[in-house]
Structure 1
Amino acid sequence: MIVLGIETSCDETGLALYDTTSWENGAPAHQGILGQALHTQMAMHREYGGVVPELASRDHIRRVLPLLEETLKQAQCQLSAIHSVAYTQGPGLAGALLVGSTFAKSLAQGLRLPTIGIHHLEGHLLSPLLGESVPQFPFIALLVSGGHTQLMLVSGVGRYQLLGETLDDAAGEAFDKTAKLLGLDYPGGAAISALAEKGQSGRFELPKPMLHSKDLDFSFSGLKTAVLTQVKKFEASGGAADQSALASFHADLARSFVDSLVAVLVSKSEKALKQTGCKHLVLAGGVGANKQLRSALTISGKKNHFEVHYPPVELCTDNGVMIAFAGALRMLENNNGSTTSGAFDIKPRWDLASNNLS
């Protein structure tokens, strides 16, 4: 069975073809990826310091058909070979989701194929199954992205329990806001991570919000505010006039920010594993590509005797592969997804657990 995946939840347009044959025959799941194409809108939105929904929607319209053609060419596949179409139904930007839903439903109706609406976060948390080290169910999933920071207990495909989530800014938002304070371009995750590698630990005592709370929730707005306080202090001292001192200040502050955020994510993950008895942790989402976070989780795994699983770096950000793959797994679970109707139904706000299989 060949599934076409379409991802248009925010600022990436991703399409991919996934063949379940390899998975069903016991081969590594990543061998089922026949082809994929991705366009990111980062350069377009950078001018505005963040995603502009209307511009994102218009760009998806322009990109989706050429990307489909590129995917088919890469996979050496004809439209007639596709068995079903999976698309991101939510959560995300309403206009962007509508583009993907409309395209998926129209294409499927023309080819007389079933469609399957996929939860964006389900795509992320199942994507590590496409890596070299495949986690065993049940596992804990740490989802960290621009819009979400959550800990989920994953008992199987379509069986998810929310354990904790952010009460304010997600980790990705904290990265972007801190990057802006340090004069770095949007998006800030990769830029902050690279700058932190040049900095020294311990210069700034930044808070580690909710590190010792008894729950598994997160909060990162206070960390961002602490960075702002340090920036104002430095500017008031006149240090910004010295370019060398300014560069050192930015690098050291970036390092302290990353150290604090990573410490909270690792600690909460350890607690979730201990509370559930799981021995496998999955890291997923755009921030899952962060080098410092990966390194800290790997060290913690060796120390505390649990295995950490990562998706391929290229599949950490939004992409069509994760949607095609999640759609394929849903099909193999004998479930036709959240919709097979012709309606262009999208869910900009959507609780993952509400989409569990019965």
Structure 2
Amino acid sequence: MDNNVKILAIESSCDETSAAVVVNGREVLSNIISSQIDIHKKFGGVVPEVASRKHIEVINAVVEEALEEAKLTLKDIDAIGVTYGPGLVGALLVGMQYAKGLAYGMKKPLIGVNHIEGHISANFIEHKDLKPPFVCLVVSGGHTFIVYVKDFGEFEVIGQTRDDAAGEAYDKIARALGLGYPGGPKIDKLAKEGNENAIKFPRANFHDDTLDFSFSGLKSAVLNYLNKMEMTGKDINKADIAASFQKAVVDVLTNNVIKTCKIKEVDKVAIAGGVAANSALRNNLIKEGKENGIEVLFPAPILCTDNAAMIGSAAYFEFMKGRVASIDLNAKPNLKLGER
């Protein structure tokens, strides 16, 4: 093996089937993503059984395309990285069984990757010189975390949601407003036409010195507001509701991240996950970052959503630490960050 470690990575934790080839955790030779958004759109959300079946249909072609675009064969690959949790158990198993078959058949090391660690590692691809320590905000449809990245592959969870993830709340409110799925981009777009101060929605504040989040109360407040307006026959300004809801989410995320940076005495924060592409969150974090002397980093939009390149980056740093999985690696749908 030369000094360039080439990882073939596979991601299938939810509704994207993805394969990528990543060199040394930073350079992406290919990143193929087969999305199921159009399939699940009619259901208003991801249907696990449908997602699993679609993964089975396309995974072989996706992996072959990733290798072809990278101009490599399986013999050129040094290790196989795969997401083994958290996620939908059926979806995870499709990617895992495929990766295990490749690793066993080609006698390549197998590396199990935590999906959340993958999101964090997307920043190592986008920002080639980024090194720990730094703070990372992970916000997606299934996860909301503030993480202190102590070292490559070493994490401390500072805050997390106690109920709905931020992206999950976006999807539910978008459905209530009749915007469809996925909700994040649709609410972000509509909010630009509204007044973010039109409606004062609640922000959850805990009194136990925690930086945890809660979005269920906010979600309920928006739904109650909609019901009240409908029952009284008043006009509903969807743009104002979207903008006011989004401001409530962004305010809490931003405040807790800035507090974490001050507590940990770091001047760098990275954002990861699907909600990291949200324009209001980006703008607010940049503004607050400048005021507090904190640099704010974002991955490219393609690296914010679920993709295998981020899994390949995380797999590389796991591999460098000697964390190789056995062939009996199993899916862990509720895997926690830092759990082995």
TM range (shorter): over 0.9
Per the TM alignment, residue 176 of structure 1 is displaced from its structure 2 partner at its CA by 0.5
- In structure 1, how many angstroms separate the alpha carbons of the residues matched to 2:195 and 2:91? 41
Question: Which residue does the alignment assign to 1:10?
Answer: 14
Aligned position for 1:55: 50
Instruction: Name the SS for the 1:97 alignment partner.
Output: helix
Structure 2 counterpart of 1:264, one-letter code = V
Q: Mapping of 1:272-351 within 5 angstroms?
A: 272-333=260-321, 335-337=322-324, 339=325, 341-351=326-336
Structure 1 CA distance for aligned equivalents of residues 11 and 130 of structure 2: 24
- How far did 1:134 drift? 4.4
Q: Deviations over 1:50-91 (max 9, x none)?
A: 111111111111111111121122111122111110000111
Q: Compute the RMSD of aligned alpha carbons.
A: 1.5
Equivalent residues in 2 for 1:177-192, closer than 5 Å? 177-192=172-187
1:313-345: per-residue Cα shift (whole Å, max 9, x none)?
110010010111111122223x134x1x22251
CA contact (8 A) 1:211 1:264 kept: no
Q: Is the 8 A contact 1:130 1:312 kept in 2?
A: no
Q: Post-superposition shift, 1:150?
A: 0.9
Point out where structure 1 has 5 or more consecutive residues left out of the alignment. Answer: 24-28, 241-245
Tell me the distance in 2 between the aligned counterparts of 1:317 and 1:212.
Answer: 33
**Is the CA contact 1:4–1:82 (under 8 Å) kept in the aligned structure 2?**
yes
Give the counterpart letter for 2:279 in structure 1.
Answer: K
The 5 A counterparts of 1:253-272 are 253-272=241-260
Q: Which runs of 4+ in 1 moved over 4 A?
A: none
Gapped regions of structure 2 (runs ≥ 5): none
Aligned to 1:352: 337
CA deviations on 1:216-265 (whole Å, 9 max, x unpaired) are: 0000001111111221122123245xxxxx4xx00011000001110000
Q: Measure the CA separation in 1 of the matches of 2:6 and 2:114.
A: 19
1:97 equivalent to 2:92? Answer yes
Looking at structure 1, the residues matched to 223 and 34 of structure 2 have their Cα atoms a distance apart, in angstroms, of: 33
Q: Check conservation: 2:124, 2:313, Cα contact below 8 A.
A: no
1: distance between equivalents of 2:70 and 2:147?
A: 33
> Could you tell me the TM-score, scaled by structure 2's length?
0.95
Aligned partner of 2:167 in structure 1 is: 172
- Match of 1:262, SS state, is helix
* Cα distance in 2 for residues equivalent to 1:16 and 1:236: 51
Asked if the contact 2:144–2:160 (Cα under 8 Å) also holds between the matched residues in 1, the reply is yes
- Per-residue deviation at 1:194? 0.4
Query: 2:230 matched to 1:235?
Result: yes
Q: Which amino acid aligns with 1:202?
A: N
What residue is the counterpart of 1:128 in the other structure?
A: 123
Distance 1:131 1:350, change over 3 A: same
Residue type of the alignment partner of 2:113: I
> SS of the residue aligned with 1:87?
strand
Q: CA offsets, 1:97-128, max 9 Å, x none?
A: 11011000101111111110000000001111
**Contact map agreement 1:135 1:309 (CA 8 A) in 2:** no
SS in 2 for 1:49: coil
Provide Cα deviations, 1:256-275, integer angstroms capped at 9, x if missing partner.
Answer: 00011100000000111111
User: Which whole-Å CA distance do the structure 1 matches of 2:31 and 2:126 have between them?
Assistant: 16
Q: CA deviation at 1:131?
A: 1.4
Cα distance in 2 for partners of 1:352, 1:224 equals 26
The 1:61/1:110 distance shift into structure 2, 3 A limit, reads same
**What is the alpha-carbon distance in structure 2 between the residues aligned to residue 113 and residue 163 of structure 1?**
35
Determine the C-alpha separation between the residues in 1 that align with 2:335 and 2:233: 48
- Alignment partner of 1:81 out of 76, 82, 89: 76
Aligned partners of 2:153 and 2:317 also within 8 Å = no
In the alignment, residue 17 of structure 1 is paired with which amino acid?
V
Equivalent residue runs for 1:93-242 within 5 Å: 93-132=88-127, 134-210=129-205, 214-240=209-235
Q: CA 1:212 to 1:307, structure 2 compared with 1: closer, same or farther past 3 Å?
A: farther
The match for 1:19 among 23, 26, 35 is 23
TM-score by length of 1: 0.91
Check the 8 A contact 1:211/1:267 in 2, yes or no.
no
